[in-house]
Chain A
Amino acid sequence: MPFISQIQRQTDYSSFPSSCPIVIDNGASYFRIGWAGETDPRVMFRNIVQRPRHKTTGETVTIVGDHDPALMKYFDCTRSGPRSAFDSNVVYQFEIMEYILDFGFDRLGADRSQVDHPVLITECPSNPIQSRSKMAELLFESYGVPSVAFGVDAAFSYKYNQQLGFCDNDGLAICSGFTTSHVIPFVDGEPVYEACCRTNVGGYHVTDYLKQLVSLKYPHHMSRLTWEKVEDLKMEHCYIASDYASEVRLFQKGDKEAEEKTRCWQLPWTPSPAEEPPSEEIARKAALKEKQSQRLREMAEAKRSSRINELENELKGLEFLLQQLNHVEENDIPSFLAESGYVSKQGIESSLVKVTQSLRKAKREEVESEEKADPSTAEKYTLINIPDNMLTPEQLKEKRKQLFLKTTSEGRQRAKQKRFEEELEREKLNKQDEEKRLENPELYLEELRTKHRELSEKVEQRKRLKTNGGHTNGNNVSGGVGRGERLNAAQKERMRLLTTAAFDRGKGEDTFGIKDEDWQLYKLMSKDNDDDEEGPDEDEAELARISSRLREIDPAFVSKSEPGSSASEIPRFRPLTKEDFQVILGVERFRCPEILFNPNLIGVDQAGLDEMTGVSMRRLPSKGEGLEERMTKSILLIGGSCHFPGMAERLEAGIRMIRPCGTPIQVIQASDPIFDAWRGASAYAAAMHFPQQTFSRMDYFEKGEDWLRRYQLKYTL
């Protein structure tokens, strides 16, 4: 039963006489208010308050109860989360309480600022006196209530069910609420608070546990898992296993029964638009690439041909010029040349040579520079072989130049040779590879895949270490505890050096740096860091090579392009399928309500529900004849958290374990665990002797705090 709220303003407030009490069930989850004597509360809503700011006007508005999501868009909710007046089951924030009471009374129809009816309000068992007095003060001062009565909601529920016949005068009430669970024994119709027992685990903790478990398991769906949604899930799907260990074993074995018990929550998901099969896409991409390269080639061609044309034109012009020069007279040469812009005949000839060369290059004729080099080297290096003492200084300089040229050209030749050899090697390797592949394609593929995986892991790890300082859980070689895990080897070395430097110095004064050798420390450190940087590059190159190879051969391979993807994204290794958007609740279905019986699972070091009954019965001050037997015969389950299927059986089994053999045990769920408290209170308030149980403002002021501490309702009227 998800959040229900009934907040319509009631119109018949004035029709009720001033003696008719108003009954309020002030619970940590819901606030119910209504008139005494009726069967249902008039107004009920979630006991929370939000104070967002209006987006346009900027004023702070108070919203009580569950909000209407449609209205929320007008408000800026960034700084206002839902706040409750409760801390565990005790009211401590009376300002919020005031907002809630305002709202409650208003919806009940109260139009004046004073509420002239006596009020019966519920509280938790053994409410601290401060909370009680502040509540009384609030009611008396702010609302002008004439008289107030406080009661325990579990007791009202029990009395109501007793009237209905579900339980007897002596019995146990097991009330599992929102933040706490109580076991209250009843003797002769009155609750025995000395024997009451309270564990601080309730429906809120169950929901929170479920929320944490599911968000840890499905981190990418975290935005969907709001607290309200998880509460819905809990109410729909959670149950209590009759025996946790055997139930869990079912799931561990993976039986068909376990399959049936697993529920799957499908999140809304639209499949991505129909993807073409990968091969077609690859073909399409290749075609595109081809087209692009074709276009580029064409452009290059066009440029080249235009450049060739230009050069040819220039060449023709120059030749023409030369020819003209030959025809022109000697004395007219300077003037003629001045027109064309060249200084002398040599100038024209040299530019002619240059143009022809570039033309040849443009036409891609082989520039036989290498071969030309050899005969030219032979000429140029003539001076080298002549010993030094026979040369003039100028010739020595020449010789040095020639030596230098020779060594460089030899070096170039050697480099070329090496490259050639390496090419040959690689060709050989590739051929071997191909042969291996052809003879055993499967095995080859497997090897390649494993190599790829290993390499990618290594690269990932190193990257993670370098950038994040190690979120891994000690998988790396350095291991260690705590701080050590975060530093890789180089950083640890650095720290070590620094600390030794810091400690080695004399007492008191820090003499680091006076000697020059001290600064060599930093040289050591950076060297370490550098060493680390180069290693991964080879691995990465290797990885790239392998992945490209795999992409060629293996049709099903998709490379992990983002090794550092954060956990909050869905790992896009393959196209998103329907399964990615499913949240599976298997073991969590009964693991979460289990904390009611076993608070150790959540770290709360207290007894569970079944043990609490034993504790409570042991604490009974007076154990009459057969009292305990009578009590176990009428055990009532109340409270919102007792709606879990399987709770009654589990409780019965648990109580049977701690009671003597053969005692009659009967566990009954109340007629309506949630509303019975209000109904009981309403019936109580409508009784004739109710006014004697209330206290007025005068009483409160006269008798003081001590009296208020001892104030308890008498439940049998």
Chain B
Amino acid sequence: MRSILKGQVRSRHWKHLKQIIQVENYQNYRTYEPNYVNIESPPSMHPCKRICDLTGFEAPYFDPRTSLRYANADVFKLIRSIPSEYVQRYLALRNAAVVLK
């Protein structure tokens, strides 16, 4: 935990949650015992609600080029005129942005 040398950056020692869970080795224990991983909620069974990315209205339409959802023709005009940086940010809200690693 504490490093003996002063001035050393200590924050790199800490494991993030994902690593903590990995180390826990929950698969070695009984499945009916609650642990951090198995109390998580399952994916939603309800039908997915599709709302327009820009305005929040109900969005039956989908733009294949930018893959944004939109509600009507005015919003579509807006979508096609915003620069691609904003498109990626709108998609990132939905966790659908293209992430280049």
Residues of A within 8 A of B (CB): 87-88, 90, 92-95, 125-131, 134, 137-138, 193-194, 196-200, 209, 212-213, 216, 244-245, 248-249, 251-252, 471-475, 481, 567, 587-588, 591, 598-608, 611-612, 615, 621
With A248-B57, A248-B58, A605-B43: A473-B83 Cβ-Cβ less than 8 Å: yes
Q: Is B27 an interface residue (CB 8 A)?
A: no
Query: Please, how many angstroms separate the alpha-carbon atoms of A194 and B1 in the complex?
Result: 32
B54 to chain A, nearest CB (A): 8
Which listed residue, A90, A209, A245, A605, touches B93 by the CB 8 Å rule? Answer: A209
Q: Are B90 and A216 in contact (CB under 8 A)?
A: yes
B40 to chain A, nearest CB (A): 5
B:35-89 near A, CB below 8 Å = 35-36, 39-46, 48-49, 51, 55-58, 65-66, 71, 79-87, 89
Q: Are A473 and B20 in contact (CB under 8 A)?
A: no
Query: Please, how many angstroms separate the alpha-carbon atoms of A611 and B43 in the complex?
Result: 10
A665 to chain B, nearest CB (A): 18
Q: Are B40 and A606 in contact (CB under 8 A)?
A: yes
Closest to A244 in B: B49
Q: Are B24 and A199 in contact (CB under 8 A)?
A: no
Q: Are B34 and A471 in contact (CB under 8 A)?
A: no
Which listed residue, B21, B32, B80, B93, touches A212 by the CB 8 Å rule? Answer: B93
Q: Is B101 an interface residue (CB 8 A)?
A: no
Which residues from chain A contact B93 at a C-beta distance below 8 Å?
Answer: 209, 212-213, 602-603
Which residues from chain B contact A472 at a C-beta distance below 8 Å?
Answer: 83-84
Q: How many A-B residue pairs have CB under 8 A?
A: 148
Q: Are B96 and A471 in contact (CB under 8 A)?
A: no
Query: Please, how many angstroms separate the alpha-carbon atoms of A621 and B55 in the complex?
Result: 44
Which listed residue, A216, A567, A587, touches B57 by the CB 8 Å rule? Answer: A587
Q: Are A607 and B56 in contact (CB under 8 A)?
A: no
With A244-B49, A587-B55, A603-B96: A475-B42 Cβ-Cβ less than 8 Å: no
Can you report 29 A-B residue pairs in the complex whose CB atoms are below 8 A from each other? Answer: A87-B17, A94-B1, A94-B14, A125-B34, A126-B34, A128-B24, A137-B1, A193-B34, A196-B39, A197-B41, A199-B41, A212-B89, A212-B93, A216-B89, A248-B56, A252-B71, A471-B83, A472-B83, A473-B81, A473-B87, A475-B81, A587-B57, A591-B56, A601-B51, A606-B42, A606-B44, A607-B46, A611-B44, A612-B41
Q: Are A216 and B32 in contact (CB under 8 A)?
A: no
With A95-B11, A245-B58: A90-B48 Cβ-Cβ less than 8 Å: no
Q: Are A588 and B56 in contact (CB under 8 A)?
A: yes
Of the candidates B1, B80, B92, the one having the most CB atoms from chain A within 10 angstroms of its own CB is B1
Q: Are B17 and A606 in contact (CB under 8 A)?
A: no
B44 to chain A, nearest CB (A): 5
Query: Please, how many angstroms separate the alpha-carbon atoms of A249 and B90 in the complex?
Result: 22
Which residues from chain B contact A587 at a C-beta distance below 8 Å?
Answer: 55-57
Which residues from chain B contact A252 at a C-beta distance below 8 Å?
Answer: 57-58, 71
A222 to chain B, nearest CB (A): 11
With A93-B14, A134-B1: A198-B82 Cβ-Cβ less than 8 Å: no
Of the candidates B17, B23, B33, B45, the one having the most CB atoms from chain A within 10 angstroms of its own CB is B17
Q: Are A90 and B36 in contact (CB under 8 A)?
A: yes
Which residues from chain A contact B83 at a C-beta distance below 8 Å?
Answer: 471-473, 567
Which residues from chain A contact B23 at a C-beta distance below 8 Å?
Answer: 130
Which listed residue, B1, B15, B41, B65, touches A615 by the CB 8 Å rule? Answer: B41
Which residues from chain B contact A567 at a C-beta distance below 8 Å?
Answer: 83, 86
Interface residues of B: mostly helix, strand, loop or mixed?
A: loop
With A213-B93, A244-B49, A601-B94: A606-B41 Cβ-Cβ less than 8 Å: yes
Q: Are B42 and A607 in contact (CB under 8 A)?
A: yes
With A475-B81, A601-B49, A606-B42: A129-B24 Cβ-Cβ less than 8 Å: yes
Which residues from chain A contact B48 at a C-beta distance below 8 Å?
Answer: 600
Closest to A217 in B: B54
Which residues from chain A contact B96 at a C-beta distance below 8 Å?
Answer: 603
Closest to B23 in A: A130
Closest to B32 in A: A194
Q: Are A128 and B41 in contact (CB under 8 A)?
A: no
Closest to B46 in A: A611
Of the candidates A198, A248, A473, A587, the one having the most CB atoms from chain B within 10 angstroms of its own CB is A473
Q: Are B95 and A92 in contact (CB under 8 A)?
A: no
Q: Are A125 and B42 in contact (CB under 8 A)?
A: no
Which residues from chain B contact A95 at a C-beta distance below 8 Å?
Answer: 1-2, 10-11, 14
Closest to A616 in B: B41
Query: Please, how many angstroms separate the alpha-carbon atoms of A481 and B98 in the complex?
Result: 13
Q: Are B57 and A127 in contact (CB under 8 A)?
A: no
Query: Please, how many angstroms separate the alpha-carbon atoms of A245 and B51 in the complex?
Result: 9
Q: Are B14 and A128 in contact (CB under 8 A)?
A: no
A486 to chain B, nearest CB (A): 9
Q: Are B39 and A599 in contact (CB under 8 A)?
A: no
Which residues from chain B contact A213 at a C-beta distance below 8 Å?
Answer: 93
With A126-B39, A472-B83: A196-B66 Cβ-Cβ less than 8 Å: no
Which residues from chain A contact B41 at a C-beta distance below 8 Å?
Answer: 197-199, 606-607, 611-612, 615
Q: Are B44 and A607 in contact (CB under 8 A)?
A: yes
Q: A128-B20, A252-B57 are known contacts; what are 7 more A-B pairs with Cβ within 8 Å?
A: A92-B16, A95-B1, A95-B2, A130-B23, A131-B20, A473-B65, A602-B95
Which residues from chain A contact B55 at a C-beta distance below 8 Å?
Answer: 587
B6 to chain A, nearest CB (A): 11
Which residues from chain B contact A615 at a C-beta distance below 8 Å?
Answer: 41-42
Closest to B55 in A: A587
Which residues from chain A contact B51 at a C-beta distance below 8 Å?
Answer: 248, 591, 601
Closest to A134 in B: B1
A390 to chain B, nearest CB (A): 77
Q: Are B15 and A130 in contact (CB under 8 A)?
A: yes
A430 to chain B, nearest CB (A): 36
Closest to B71 in A: A252
Which listed residue, A134, A194, A600, touches B44 by the CB 8 Å rule? Answer: A600
Q: Are A471 and B84 in contact (CB under 8 A)?
A: yes
Closest to A182 in B: B39
Q: Are B17 and A603 in contact (CB under 8 A)?
A: no
Which residues from chain A contact B66 at a C-beta distance below 8 Å?
Answer: 473
Which residues from chain A contact B95 at a C-beta distance below 8 Å?
Answer: 602-604
Query: Please, how many angstroms separate the alpha-carbon atoms of A197 and B15 in the complex?
Result: 24
With A130-B20, A216-B90: A92-B58 Cβ-Cβ less than 8 Å: no
Q: Are A603 and B84 in contact (CB under 8 A)?
A: no
Q: Are B84 and A88 in contact (CB under 8 A)?
A: no
Which residues from chain A contact B34 at a C-beta distance below 8 Å?
Answer: 125-126, 193-194, 196
Closest to B94 in A: A603
Q: What 9 A-B pairs are tightest by C-beta distance, nearest first? A: A603-B95, A587-B56, A193-B34, A87-B17, A471-B83, A591-B56, A607-B41, A606-B41, A196-B39
Q: Are B65 and A128 in contact (CB under 8 A)?
A: no
Of the candidates B15, B39, B51, the one having the most CB atoms from chain A within 10 angstroms of its own CB is B39
B10 to chain A, nearest CB (A): 5
A563 to chain B, nearest CB (A): 14
Closest to A479 in B: B65
B30 to chain A, nearest CB (A): 11
Which residues from chain B contact A199 at a C-beta distance below 8 Å?
Answer: 40-41
Which listed residue, B1, B16, B49, B85, touches A600 by the CB 8 Å rule? Answer: B49
Query: Please, how many angstroms separate the alpha-carbon atoms of A88 and B84 in the complex?
Result: 31
B26 to chain A, nearest CB (A): 9
Query: Please, how many angstroms separate the alpha-carbon atoms of A481 and B84 in the complex?
Result: 12
